Structure 1
Amino acid sequence: MTSIDWSGVRDRVAELADRPEDSVFGANGHHFLLEPPLSQDELAELEEQIGVQLPEEYRSFLLEVSRGGAGPAYGLFPLRRIDGRWRWEGDGAELTELTRLGEPFPYTGFFDPAADLPDPPEEEDYASTEEFDAAQDAYAELHDRVAYDPRHTVGTIYLCHLGCAYRHLLVVSGPERGAVWADDTAGDGGLKPLTDARGDRVGFARWYLDWLDKVGD
């Protein structure tokens, strides 16, 4: 396995702090700040608690760069140790099923959990506004129950949010281990792997360093 050279990353991020935050999307969420990295003992405790060894690229980032902060979109969800238990925190970080990270992520290609749902209600099909509103509420409840069923994202860690409930996640178990995926279910875009121009999967290091290269230009 090729090791990742994370040297200089913290310095490169620190240099961005002089930029206006509105010049980089999401910077008002992370302020170009990186939290301290994990120690070996902290990482060992984390992996013991979640029952899985993290993919090497993310693992080495946690040890050599940071436990969270500045990064793509609104920044990396930081790891927190609260009451002796480790977890990720942020807008959507709670979607990470901490007790199911050892279960294999079930997909290897695009999947839309809501694809088989019926069409949403149309106002002209209802006799009153009240009936239409009730139908909309029922449909929204059904959609969310199906689209956000945690079985769809077992074996993954949510990395960050992009706004409007769009998020990126890292697969930690199963055939897609190490790949970064997009969770676009909020807009009925489903779950899909991030790929480069050749169609190859994007891993954590590529995902993070591409962001740093882009914002550093």
Structure 2
Amino acid sequence: MSLTAGLEALRTAFPAEWREPALGVGGVAAWESENSARLPEPYRTFIAEVSNGSSLGPPEDGGLLPLGWLPPGWPARGDRIPGAVFPLDHAWHWEDDSDSTPDFNQRIADVYNHGSIVLGTDDELSYWLLVLTGSQRGKIWFVADVGASPYPGPEAISFLEWVQRWQTGVGWWD
């Protein structure tokens, strides 16, 4: 799908009355410079030209967060570094991992904080991330207190596909 068609689909998904003001090209460029990260398309153009967040989902609990915002209840696991490399390329369920090395907790913190932006939460225990760096750039990941996985798994989908899936109303895991 072309960028123009993708943006039109996103405009349709987020009615004007639910949109937050767009950041503009300058606002996006400033955020990218400050965070040493480049946002993937079509999300980048969406927040620059259409809407920087929306109280109407996805996700349904609180809607789509503005760029750089964190939802209430976000686990404080160190500093967010959107420009750092996202550390995963496949699912990792740390709850089932018997790793006891000293860097285990740091690896979890890196999943939460490196190479992504937070799109929203479903229940303040699980979060939707858009990956900005590494092999999963432009893909949606689901991170919870028990682990992280590409959504819907085992391969992750794009921001546009994620919004379209929400728009169907079928449910995230159906």
TM-score by structure 2 length? 0.76
Query: 1:206 is matched with which residue?
Result: 161
In the TM superposition, residue 95 of structure 1 has moved relative to its aligned partner by 6.6
Change (3 A) 1:93 1:12: farther
Is 1:3 the counterpart of 2:6? The answer is no
User: Which deviations, in whole Å up to 9, do the C-alpha atoms of 1:108-164 show, x marking residues without a partner?
Assistant: 11112342268xxxxxxxxxxxxxxxxxxxxxxxxxx93884223311111110004
The aligned amino acid for 1:49 is E
Query: 1:176 is matched with which residue?
Result: 136
Contact 1:105 1:174 in 2 (8 A): yes
The aligned amino acid for 2:127 is R
Query: 1:116 is matched with which residue?
Result: 98
Change (3 A) 1:104 1:33: same
How do residues 37-56 of structure 1 correspond to structure 2 at under 5 angstroms? 37-56=22-41
* CA–CA separation in structure 2 for the residues paired with 1:78 and 1:93: 18
Paired-residue identity, %: 27
Unaligned runs of 5+ in 1: 16-31, 80-86, 119-144
Change (3 A) 1:62 1:96: farther
* CA–CA separation in structure 2 for the residues paired with 1:149 and 1:34: 33
Contact 1:169 1:181 in 2 (8 A): yes
How many aligned residue pairs are there?
A: 160
* CA–CA separation in structure 1 for the residues paired with 2:58 and 2:76: 19
Contact 1:168 1:182 in 2 (8 A): yes
How do residues 102-113 of structure 1 correspond to structure 2 at under 5 angstroms? 102-113=83-94
* CA–CA separation in structure 1 for the residues paired with 2:75 and 2:52: 14
Unaligned runs of 5+ in 2: none
In the TM superposition, residue 181 of structure 1 has moved relative to its aligned partner by 0.5
Change (3 A) 1:195 1:62: same
Query: 2:109 is matched with which residue?
Result: 150
Query: 1:72 is matched with which residue?
Result: 58
* CA–CA separation in structure 2 for the residues paired with 1:174 and 1:8: 26
User: Which deviations, in whole Å up to 9, do the C-alpha atoms of 1:76-99 show, x marking residues without a partner?
Assistant: 1123xxxxxxx314222977944x
Query: 1:132 is matched with which residue?
Result: none
Change (3 A) 1:96 1:208: farther
The aligned amino acid for 2:38 is Q
Q: Which has the higher helix share?
A: 1
User: Which deviations, in whole Å up to 9, do the C-alpha atoms of 1:45-100 show, x marking residues without a partner?
Assistant: 11111111111121022123211122212211123xxxxxxx314222977944x2
The aligned amino acid for 1:46 is W
Contact 1:161 1:167 in 2 (8 A): yes
The aligned amino acid for 1:108 is D
**What root-mean-square deviation, in Å, do the aligned CA atoms of Structure 1 and Structure 2 show?**
3.0
